[in-house]
Structure 1
Amino acid sequence: MKHLPKHLRPRWRYLGVGIETWPDATIGRRDFQRALWYAAGNLLGDPGSADADLSVLSFTFDETTGEGEAVVRIRRGHVSTARAAIACVSTIEDQQVGIHVRGISGTVRACEERYMGRAGGPAEQRDVAFEGADRPAVVRGDAVDVSTGSGHVGATRLDLE
Protein backbone atom coordinates (compact mmCIF):
# COMPACT_ATOMS: atom_id res chain seq x y z
CA MET A 1 0.00 0.00 0.00
CA LYS A 2 1.38 3.40 -0.96
CA HIS A 3 1.83 6.26 1.47
CA LEU A 4 -0.20 9.40 1.07
CA PRO A 5 1.61 12.45 -0.27
CA LYS A 6 2.84 14.77 2.46
CA HIS A 7 0.20 17.43 1.80
CA LEU A 8 -2.61 14.86 2.29
CA ARG A 9 -1.33 13.27 5.52
CA PRO A 10 -3.06 14.25 8.76
CA ARG A 11 -1.24 16.82 10.90
CA TRP A 12 -0.97 16.26 14.64
CA ARG A 13 -0.41 18.21 17.83
CA TYR A 14 0.75 16.68 21.09
CA LEU A 15 -0.52 17.70 24.51
CA GLY A 16 1.55 17.22 27.67
CA VAL A 17 -1.00 16.32 30.36
CA GLY A 18 -0.45 16.19 34.13
CA ILE A 19 -2.57 13.90 36.32
CA GLU A 20 -3.03 14.17 40.09
CA THR A 21 -5.13 12.04 42.44
CA TRP A 22 -5.06 10.54 45.92
CA PRO A 23 -1.91 8.56 46.81
CA ASP A 24 -3.53 5.10 46.93
CA ALA A 25 -5.32 5.35 43.57
CA THR A 26 -4.42 3.02 40.70
CA ILE A 27 -4.91 4.33 37.18
CA GLY A 28 -3.83 2.55 34.02
CA ARG A 29 -3.28 3.72 30.49
CA ARG A 30 -6.39 1.98 29.18
CA ASP A 31 -8.53 3.52 31.91
CA PHE A 32 -7.19 6.98 31.08
CA GLN A 33 -7.77 6.46 27.34
CA ARG A 34 -11.32 5.26 27.98
CA ALA A 35 -12.05 8.31 30.17
CA LEU A 36 -10.75 10.65 27.43
CA TRP A 37 -12.90 9.01 24.77
CA TYR A 38 -15.96 9.08 27.03
CA ALA A 39 -15.48 12.77 27.90
CA ALA A 40 -14.87 13.72 24.26
CA GLY A 41 -17.91 11.75 23.13
CA ASN A 42 -20.15 13.41 25.71
CA LEU A 43 -18.87 16.93 25.04
CA LEU A 44 -18.29 16.90 21.28
CA GLY A 45 -20.58 14.11 20.12
CA ASP A 46 -19.46 11.19 17.99
CA PRO A 47 -18.50 13.22 14.88
CA GLY A 48 -16.58 15.84 16.88
CA SER A 49 -14.84 13.18 18.94
CA ALA A 50 -13.79 11.33 15.80
CA ASP A 51 -12.47 14.58 14.27
CA ALA A 52 -10.37 15.43 17.35
CA ASP A 53 -9.08 11.82 17.54
CA LEU A 54 -7.63 11.90 21.08
CA SER A 55 -5.07 9.11 21.50
CA VAL A 56 -2.78 8.45 24.46
CA LEU A 57 0.76 7.89 23.16
CA SER A 58 2.64 7.57 26.44
CA PHE A 59 1.45 7.27 30.02
CA THR A 60 3.14 7.02 33.40
CA PHE A 61 1.54 6.99 36.85
CA ASP A 62 3.13 6.60 40.28
CA GLU A 63 0.71 4.97 42.72
CA THR A 64 2.69 5.96 45.81
CA THR A 65 2.47 9.70 45.11
CA GLY A 66 -0.74 9.79 43.07
CA GLU A 67 0.88 11.74 40.23
CA GLY A 68 1.24 10.90 36.57
CA GLU A 69 1.63 12.32 33.12
CA ALA A 70 0.68 11.50 29.56
CA VAL A 71 1.24 12.59 25.98
CA VAL A 72 -2.06 12.87 24.08
CA ARG A 73 -2.11 13.10 20.28
CA ILE A 74 -4.83 15.21 18.61
CA ARG A 75 -5.53 16.56 15.13
CA ARG A 76 -4.04 19.98 14.44
CA GLY A 77 -7.21 22.05 14.10
CA HIS A 78 -8.90 20.65 17.20
CA VAL A 79 -6.64 21.85 20.02
CA SER A 80 -9.26 23.93 21.84
CA THR A 81 -11.95 21.24 21.65
CA ALA A 82 -9.50 18.58 22.83
CA ARG A 83 -8.45 20.77 25.77
CA ALA A 84 -12.11 21.20 26.70
CA ALA A 85 -12.69 17.44 26.53
CA ILE A 86 -9.63 16.77 28.71
CA ALA A 87 -10.91 19.32 31.24
CA CYS A 88 -14.17 17.35 31.49
CA VAL A 89 -12.42 14.27 32.91
CA SER A 90 -13.00 14.29 36.67
CA THR A 91 -13.02 10.57 37.50
CA ILE A 92 -11.18 7.55 36.15
CA GLU A 93 -12.46 4.16 37.28
CA ASP A 94 -14.29 5.76 40.25
CA GLN A 95 -11.12 7.60 41.34
CA GLN A 96 -11.29 11.40 41.63
CA VAL A 97 -8.58 12.99 39.46
CA GLY A 98 -7.30 16.43 38.60
CA ILE A 99 -6.02 16.81 35.05
CA HIS A 100 -4.30 19.82 33.51
CA VAL A 101 -2.66 20.47 30.16
CA ARG A 102 0.97 21.47 30.69
CA GLY A 103 1.57 22.50 27.09
CA ILE A 104 1.14 21.87 23.39
CA SER A 105 3.82 20.84 20.91
CA GLY A 106 4.17 19.93 17.25
CA THR A 107 6.31 16.81 17.81
CA VAL A 108 6.34 14.03 20.38
CA ARG A 109 10.00 14.63 21.15
CA ALA A 110 9.50 18.33 21.88
CA CYS A 111 6.47 17.55 24.04
CA GLU A 112 8.42 15.05 26.13
CA GLU A 113 11.41 17.37 26.49
CA ARG A 114 9.40 20.44 27.46
CA TYR A 115 6.48 19.14 29.50
CA MET A 116 7.19 15.62 30.77
CA GLY A 117 9.16 14.75 33.88
CA ARG A 118 7.89 17.81 35.70
CA ALA A 119 5.72 16.13 38.29
CA GLY A 120 5.27 17.80 41.66
CA GLY A 121 8.66 16.67 42.89
CA PRO A 122 9.64 14.02 45.39
CA ALA A 123 6.96 12.77 47.75
CA GLU A 124 7.60 11.90 51.35
CA GLN A 125 5.50 9.56 53.47
CA ARG A 126 5.32 10.39 57.15
CA ASP A 127 2.99 10.75 60.11
CA VAL A 128 1.40 14.14 60.76
CA ALA A 129 -0.75 15.55 63.55
CA PHE A 130 -4.26 15.98 62.16
CA GLU A 131 -7.52 16.29 64.15
CA GLY A 132 -5.72 15.56 67.41
CA ALA A 133 -4.14 12.27 66.26
CA ASP A 134 -1.07 11.09 64.38
CA ARG A 135 -2.09 9.99 60.90
CA PRO A 136 -0.12 8.71 57.89
CA ALA A 137 0.25 11.24 55.07
CA VAL A 138 1.98 11.85 51.74
CA VAL A 139 3.73 15.22 51.57
CA ARG A 140 4.47 16.83 48.17
CA GLY A 141 5.84 20.32 48.51
CA ASP A 142 3.14 22.36 50.27
CA ALA A 143 0.39 19.79 49.57
CA VAL A 144 -0.34 17.12 52.17
CA ASP A 145 -2.69 14.17 51.59
CA VAL A 146 -3.72 12.88 55.03
CA SER A 147 -5.11 9.35 55.30
CA THR A 148 -8.23 9.12 57.49
CA GLY A 149 -10.50 6.21 58.25
CA SER A 150 -12.92 7.13 55.45
CA GLY A 151 -10.39 8.14 52.76
CA HIS A 152 -7.99 11.01 52.18
CA VAL A 153 -8.13 14.68 53.09
CA GLY A 154 -6.21 17.31 51.17
CA ALA A 155 -4.41 19.81 53.40
CA THR A 156 -1.53 22.27 53.39
CA ARG A 157 1.36 22.61 55.77
CA LEU A 158 -0.44 25.55 57.43
CA ASP A 159 -3.42 23.30 58.22
CA LEU A 160 -1.17 20.98 60.20
CA GLU A 161 0.40 23.64 62.43
Structure 2
Amino acid sequence: MKHLPKHLRPRWRYLAVELEAWPDADVSQGDFQRSVWFAAQNLYGDAGSADADLRVLEFSFSDGTGEALVRVRHGEVERGRAALACVDEVRGDPVRVAVRGVSGTMRAAEEKYLGRPSESRDEASVAFAGGTRRAVRRGDLVDVDCEDGFAGATDLDC
Protein backbone atom coordinates (compact mmCIF):
# COMPACT_ATOMS: atom_id res chain seq x y z
CA MET A 1 0.00 0.00 0.00
CA LYS A 2 1.33 3.42 -0.93
CA HIS A 3 1.85 6.19 1.60
CA LEU A 4 -0.24 9.32 1.39
CA PRO A 5 1.45 12.44 0.05
CA LYS A 6 2.76 14.73 2.77
CA HIS A 7 0.01 17.33 2.30
CA LEU A 8 -2.68 14.68 2.87
CA ARG A 9 -1.17 13.05 5.97
CA PRO A 10 -2.69 13.90 9.34
CA ARG A 11 -0.80 16.48 11.36
CA TRP A 12 -0.26 15.95 15.06
CA ARG A 13 0.61 17.91 18.17
CA TYR A 14 2.10 16.32 21.26
CA LEU A 15 0.98 17.18 24.79
CA ALA A 16 3.48 16.65 27.59
CA VAL A 17 1.41 15.62 30.60
CA GLU A 18 2.33 15.47 34.30
CA LEU A 19 0.55 12.96 36.55
CA GLU A 20 0.29 12.95 40.34
CA ALA A 21 -1.55 10.53 42.62
CA TRP A 22 -1.24 8.90 46.03
CA PRO A 23 1.99 6.93 46.49
CA ASP A 24 0.14 3.59 46.57
CA ALA A 25 -1.76 4.25 43.31
CA ASP A 26 -1.23 1.70 40.57
CA VAL A 27 -1.66 3.45 37.21
CA SER A 28 -0.73 1.75 33.95
CA GLN A 29 -0.61 3.15 30.42
CA GLY A 30 -3.68 1.19 29.36
CA ASP A 31 -5.70 2.38 32.33
CA PHE A 32 -4.67 5.99 31.72
CA GLN A 33 -5.51 5.67 27.99
CA ARG A 34 -8.95 4.30 28.85
CA SER A 35 -9.58 7.20 31.26
CA VAL A 36 -8.52 9.75 28.61
CA TRP A 37 -10.83 8.21 26.01
CA PHE A 38 -13.69 8.06 28.51
CA ALA A 39 -13.23 11.72 29.50
CA ALA A 40 -13.09 12.86 25.85
CA GLN A 41 -16.17 10.83 24.97
CA ASN A 42 -18.14 12.22 27.93
CA LEU A 43 -17.11 15.79 27.09
CA TYR A 44 -17.48 15.78 23.29
CA GLY A 45 -19.42 12.65 22.37
CA ASP A 46 -18.32 9.97 19.95
CA ALA A 47 -17.75 12.22 16.95
CA GLY A 48 -15.86 14.91 18.88
CA SER A 49 -13.60 12.46 20.65
CA ALA A 50 -12.85 10.73 17.35
CA ASP A 51 -11.88 14.09 15.84
CA ALA A 52 -9.40 14.76 18.65
CA ASP A 53 -8.02 11.19 18.38
CA LEU A 54 -6.16 11.32 21.72
CA ARG A 55 -3.51 8.62 22.02
CA VAL A 56 -1.04 7.99 24.87
CA LEU A 57 2.30 7.30 23.17
CA GLU A 58 4.72 7.24 26.10
CA PHE A 59 3.97 6.69 29.75
CA SER A 60 5.89 6.33 32.99
CA PHE A 61 4.46 6.24 36.51
CA SER A 62 5.93 5.21 39.87
CA ASP A 63 5.63 6.23 43.51
CA GLY A 64 2.68 8.51 42.85
CA THR A 65 4.23 10.66 40.11
CA GLY A 66 4.58 10.20 36.40
CA GLU A 67 4.47 11.72 32.98
CA ALA A 68 2.97 10.90 29.63
CA LEU A 69 3.16 12.01 26.03
CA VAL A 70 -0.28 12.31 24.42
CA ARG A 71 -0.81 12.75 20.68
CA VAL A 72 -3.71 14.89 19.44
CA ARG A 73 -4.73 16.10 15.97
CA HIS A 74 -3.34 19.48 14.95
CA GLY A 75 -6.56 21.52 15.11
CA GLU A 76 -7.88 19.81 18.25
CA VAL A 77 -5.26 20.88 20.82
CA GLU A 78 -7.71 22.87 22.95
CA ARG A 79 -10.20 20.00 22.94
CA GLY A 80 -7.43 17.62 23.92
CA ARG A 81 -6.34 19.83 26.80
CA ALA A 82 -9.94 20.12 27.99
CA ALA A 83 -10.44 16.35 27.84
CA LEU A 84 -7.24 15.78 29.84
CA ALA A 85 -8.45 18.30 32.41
CA CYS A 86 -11.55 16.15 32.89
CA VAL A 87 -9.50 13.10 33.93
CA ASP A 88 -9.75 13.01 37.73
CA GLU A 89 -9.29 9.31 38.43
CA VAL A 90 -7.74 6.24 36.86
CA ARG A 91 -9.25 2.90 37.84
CA GLY A 92 -10.58 4.33 41.09
CA ASP A 93 -7.38 6.11 42.12
CA PRO A 94 -7.64 9.93 42.23
CA VAL A 95 -5.15 11.50 39.82
CA ARG A 96 -4.07 15.08 39.07
CA VAL A 97 -3.38 15.62 35.37
CA ALA A 98 -1.62 18.78 34.17
CA VAL A 99 -0.44 19.65 30.67
CA ARG A 100 3.12 20.98 30.86
CA GLY A 101 3.30 22.04 27.24
CA VAL A 102 2.46 21.42 23.59
CA SER A 103 4.93 20.70 20.83
CA GLY A 104 4.96 19.80 17.15
CA THR A 105 7.33 16.83 17.55
CA MET A 106 7.70 14.07 20.11
CA ARG A 107 11.38 14.80 20.56
CA ALA A 108 10.86 18.49 21.26
CA ALA A 109 8.10 17.73 23.76
CA GLU A 110 10.32 15.23 25.58
CA GLU A 111 13.32 17.55 25.72
CA LYS A 112 11.49 20.76 26.52
CA TYR A 113 8.70 19.67 28.86
CA LEU A 114 9.44 16.17 30.15
CA GLY A 115 13.03 16.85 31.15
CA ARG A 116 14.56 14.15 29.01
CA PRO A 117 18.09 15.08 28.04
CA SER A 118 18.91 16.07 24.52
CA GLU A 119 22.00 14.69 22.92
CA SER A 120 25.01 16.34 24.47
CA ARG A 121 27.35 17.85 21.97
CA ASP A 122 30.94 18.93 22.51
CA GLU A 123 33.35 20.50 20.06
CA ALA A 124 37.02 19.62 20.25
CA SER A 125 40.22 19.45 18.24
CA VAL A 126 41.35 15.93 17.38
CA ALA A 127 44.27 14.34 15.59
CA PHE A 128 42.91 12.75 12.42
CA ALA A 129 44.50 11.79 9.07
CA GLY A 130 47.89 13.25 9.93
CA GLY A 131 46.65 16.63 11.19
CA THR A 132 44.62 18.44 13.81
CA ARG A 133 41.00 18.98 12.87
CA ARG A 134 37.82 20.31 14.44
CA ALA A 135 35.40 17.59 15.60
CA VAL A 136 31.95 17.36 17.14
CA ARG A 137 31.58 14.69 19.83
CA ARG A 138 28.14 13.17 20.61
CA GLY A 139 28.45 10.38 23.13
CA ASP A 140 30.73 7.70 21.66
CA LEU A 141 30.49 9.17 18.15
CA VAL A 142 32.93 11.70 16.74
CA ASP A 143 32.25 13.67 13.55
CA VAL A 144 35.52 15.07 12.17
CA ASP A 145 35.37 18.17 9.94
CA CYS A 146 37.23 17.36 6.70
CA GLU A 147 37.66 19.54 3.60
CA ASP A 148 34.70 17.99 1.77
CA GLY A 149 32.33 17.38 4.71
CA PHE A 150 32.28 15.45 7.94
CA ALA A 151 33.76 12.00 8.46
CA GLY A 152 32.33 9.66 11.07
CA ALA A 153 34.82 8.27 13.57
CA THR A 154 35.06 6.74 17.04
CA ASP A 155 37.26 7.56 20.02
CA LEU A 156 39.75 4.90 18.88
CA ASP A 157 40.14 6.55 15.46
CA CYS A 158 41.17 9.94 16.89
Regarding TM over 0.5, the answer is yes
Which runs of 5 or more structure 1 residues have no equivalent in the other structure? 119-161
Residues 65-124 of structure 1: CA deviation (Å, up to 9, x unaligned): x00000000000000011000000001000001000000000000000011138xxxxxx
Q: Once the two structures are aligned, what percentage of the paired residues are identical?
A: 62
Once superposed, which parts of structure 1, at least 4 consecutive aligned residues long, lie more than 4 Å away? none
- Output aligned runs, 1:26-65, within 5 Å: 26-62=26-62, 64=63
Specify the alignment match of 1:125 in structure 2: none
Specify the alignment match of 1:13 in structure 2: 13
Structure 2 SS opposite 1:58 = strand
Aligned partner of 1:89: which letter? Answer: V
Specify the alignment match of 2:93 in structure 1: 95
* Alpha-carbon distance, 1:56 to partner: 0.4
State how far apart, in whole Å, the 2-side matches of 1:78 and 1:67 are: 27
Specify the alignment match of 1:85 in structure 2: 83
State how far apart, in whole Å, the 2-side matches of 1:61 and 1:80 are: 25
RMSD over aligned CA atoms reads 0.9
Specify the alignment match of 1:115 in structure 2: 113
TM-score scaled by length of structure 1: 0.71
Specify the alignment match of 2:70 in structure 1: 72
Which runs of 5 or more structure 2 residues have no equivalent in the other structure? 117-158
* Alpha-carbon distance, 1:19 to partner: 0.2
Largest Rg, 1 or 2: 2
- Report how many aligned residue pairs link the two structures: 116
Structure 2 SS opposite 1:4 = coil
- Output aligned runs, 1:116-131, within 5 Å: 116-117=114-115
Structure 1 SS opposite 2:26 = coil
Aligned partner of 1:90: which letter? Answer: D
State how far apart, in whole Å, the 1-side matches of 2:110 and 2:17 are: 10
